[in-house]
Structure 1
C-alpha cells in the first residue's frame, strides 16, 4: 500500500473511540490509587407546553452530597430572549454550558438579523455535549417560543435530544412525572399549565431529599417572558421548630411543707508514719 494511504488510514483509525484512559484507570487502581468518589446531584425540573405558552419550573435546592449547599439556587438559565433552559446536574457545568450557548445564539441573531429558533439552541447543546460522552454534568430541559411554535426539548448530558409535550428531569422526576401524567391534557391554558408545573415541582420536593426550598416558574409566550421567583414558598416552611426554654417565675410551684434537719459529719484523720530503716537507697 502506498505510504500516503497508510498514513491516511492510520490517521482515520485514531479518530474513533479511545479507551486508553480505561486501561490507565485499571492500572492505577491495581497500584493502590483510589477512584474519586461520585457525588450525587439532585434536582426537580419540569417543562410543559400549553396552548399559547411554554411553562418551565424548578426547585431551588443545591446539594453537595448529603449537604444542602444553597437554598436559593436559580436553576432556570437564559439562552436567548425567547429560549430558556432548566438545568439539573452539576451547577458549575450548567452555568458555563448555558453561558456559552447564550453567547453563540446572540452571535447567530446578530449574523442573521432574526430571532433564533429553539432548534438552533438544542442543536448547539447536542453538538457540544456529545463528544464528552456524559462527563459534562448538564441535563437540560430547553423551552422556547419561535415563529414555528412552542417547544419543549429534553437534552441529556450525553447529547441525545427528545421533544415532549411535557417532561421532568432530576432526582425528583419520578414523583413529578406522576403528577404530569395525571394532570396533562392538550390545550392547557397558561394558568392551568402553571399550576400543573408547580404541583409537579412540589411533588418532587416532598418526595425527594435532594430537592427542596422554593418553586420558581418561568412562562414564555410569543410576546414576552415572565419569571416568577418564589412562586411557591410553602415547601420551604419549617413544620417543626424547637420550643423556647420555659422559665418559671419564683413561687409558681406551691410549697406544701418545710423540714430542716441538722447534718452531723464525723471527720477521722489517719496519719501514716514511714519507717526510715525500711527504705533502701539505690
Structure 2
C-alpha cells in the first residue's frame, strides 16, 4: 500500500516561519508556488501570498495544498464571525487555532481519493497578549514558545537552533527570518520568489518586509 501511495503523493515544499520574541512575534513566508512530478522533482508554478488574515487580530501562514488551505481559512473566518455574533464576544487566538485544528482533523479523515493536506502557523493578539500556534495537517495543535518552521524545515532548523535566543527582539527576529530565507532558497528549489514578513505585538499586526524576485533576460557581453 505504501509503495502504491508513493506513486501519487508528491512532495514539493515551501517555507513558513514563526519566531516568538520578547516583544512580539515574527511571522513570515516565501512566495513560490510549486508542484512535483512522480520522481519528486519540484517545478515552479507561479507566485502566491502565503500569509492570510482571519480577522484584524489574527493572521496565518499556509503550507500544503493551495485549495485545501484556502478552503480551511474560509471556513474558519465564517465560523468565527458566527461565533462572535452569537456570543457578542471577541474570539481568542487559542479559540481560532483550536477551530482550525478541528477542521484539519476532520478534513484529512474524510474518505477521498485526494486527501486534504494543509499546515498552518497561527499568530495574533487578544486580551491575554500575543501567541503563536502550529496546526499540523493531522489536526494536532501545539502552542509555540520559541520558533517553528514548516514546509522545508530541514534546511532551516539548523540556523534557528544555533541563532535563536530566548530574549530575542523583534528587530533581531526579522533579521533572522531574512537570513533563513536567503539560506533556504539556495538549497530548496521550491522556496523563493521573495518573501513577506509580519510582526504581531500586543495590539498591532504589521507587515514590515516584502521582497519579490523579478526575472530579467539580458544579452551576454
Say whether the fold is shared (TM-score over 0.5). Answer: yes
**TM-score, normalising length from structure 1?**
0.67
Deviation at residue 169 of structure 1 after TM alignment:
0.4
Deviation at 1:114, TM superposition (A): 3.1
Match of 2:188 among 202, 205, 208: 208
Q: Given that residues 124 and 205 in structure 2 are in contact (C-alpha distance below 8 angstroms), is that contact kept between their aligned partners in structure 1? A: no
Deviates more, 1:105-114 or 1:175-184: 105-114
- For 1:55 and 1:213, the matched residues in 2 are separated by 20
Which protein has the bigger strand share? 2
TM-score, structure 2 as length reference? 0.84
Per-residue deviation, 1:36 = 7.0
Distance 1:38 1:94 in 2: 17
1:219 partnered with 2:194:
no
Larger RCO (alpha carbons 8 Å, 6+ apart): 2
Q: Does 1:193 align with 2:173?
A: yes
User: Is this contact kept in 2: 1:46–1:176, CA < 8 A?
Assistant: no
Q: CA deviation at 1:107?
A: 2.2
Give the structure 2 partner of residue 143 of structure 1. Answer: 123
- Paired residue for 2:147? 166
Contact 1:57 1:201 in 2 (8 A): no
Stretch moving more, 50-59 or 34-43: 34-43
Query: How many angstroms apart in 2 are the aligned matches of 1:133 and 1:241?
Result: 43
Q: Which residue of 1 aligns with 2:102?
A: 127
Distance 1:99 1:132 in 2: 14
Matched, 1:79 2:50: no
Runs (5+) with no aligned partner, structure 1 = 1-21, 23-28, 247-282
Taking only aligned residues, the RMSD between alpha carbons, in angstroms, comes to: 2.4
Counterpart contact for 2:43–2:190, Cα < 8 Å: no
Distance in structure 2 (CA, Å) of the matches to 1:186 and 1:54 = 12
User: In structure 2, do the counterparts of structure 1 residues 149 and 37 end up closer, same or farther at CA, with 3 Å as the change threshold?
Assistant: same
C-alpha displacement at 1:237, in angstroms? 6.4
Higher CA-based Rg: 1
Aligned counterparts of 2:102 and 2:137: Cα–Cα separation in 1: 11
What SS does structure 1 have at the residue aligned with 2:125? strand
Tell me, yes or no, if the aligned pair for 1:218 and 1:226 is still in contact at 8 Å: yes
